[in-house]
């Protein structure tokens, strides 16, 4: 067999590409570092896109993250009322964080239709989605019928924002 590899550089190249692909997907990829549903991974902020989408560095890789369950007003292509405020609020919390952690929900998809990782994000031990809802920047929920770990906490924070007329509920 080793003679055939020397005679066929294309075969050797194909095998090498397969090995690199396997190592990346099963050993090094960010997903593999926090596969356990309850396990959290440490992340660092790269940049904020808007109130519910950010780029985080997880396991030395840039990952585009869509914050699970919440939806904030848009501030990118189509700017909606309070979109800039929601984006600035998310940016402020993440920029000033001493510790950022991420966690998958045990049920549901791990990525959305745009390839963004669907994650719970924690800022210094507190759920970012709850903080955003409590500040009044969550306009609706993305609930696809799964058992979301922090749904009750986020809904309660959202109701609190409505009652106190915060953010978009002024």
Catalytic annotation, residues: 66, 74, 116
Distance CA 41, CA 35 (A): 10
> Half-sphere exposure of 159 toward its Cβ, with a 13 Å CA cutoff?
6
Instruction: Give me 91's structure tokens.
Output: 């940016």
Report the b/e string of 6-28 with b at 16+ CB within 10 A.
Answer: eeeeeeeeeeeeeeeeeeeeeee
CA Rg, the chain, in Å?
20
């Amino acid at each position: 067999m080793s003679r055939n590899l020397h005679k066929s550089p294309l075969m050797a190249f194909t095998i090498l590409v397969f090995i690199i692909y396997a190592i990346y997907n099963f050993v090094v990829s960010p997903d593999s570092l926090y596969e356990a549903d309850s396990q959290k991974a440490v992340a660092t902020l790269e940049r904020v896109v808007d109130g519910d989408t950010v780029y985080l560095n997880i396991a030395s890789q840039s990952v585009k993250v869509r914050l699970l369950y919440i939806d904030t007003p848009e501030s990118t292509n189509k700017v909606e009322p309070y979109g800039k405020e929601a984006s600035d609020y998310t940016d402020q919390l993440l920029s000033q964080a001493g510790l950022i952690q991420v966690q998958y929900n045990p049920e549901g998809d791990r990525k959305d239709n745009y390839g963004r990782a669907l994650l719970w994000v924690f800022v210094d031990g507190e759920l970012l989605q709850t903080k955003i809802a409590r500040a009044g920047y969550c306009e609706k929920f993305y609930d696809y019928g799964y058992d979301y770990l922090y749904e009750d906490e986020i809904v309660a924070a959202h109701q609190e924002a409505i009652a106190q007329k915060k953010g978009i509920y002024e």
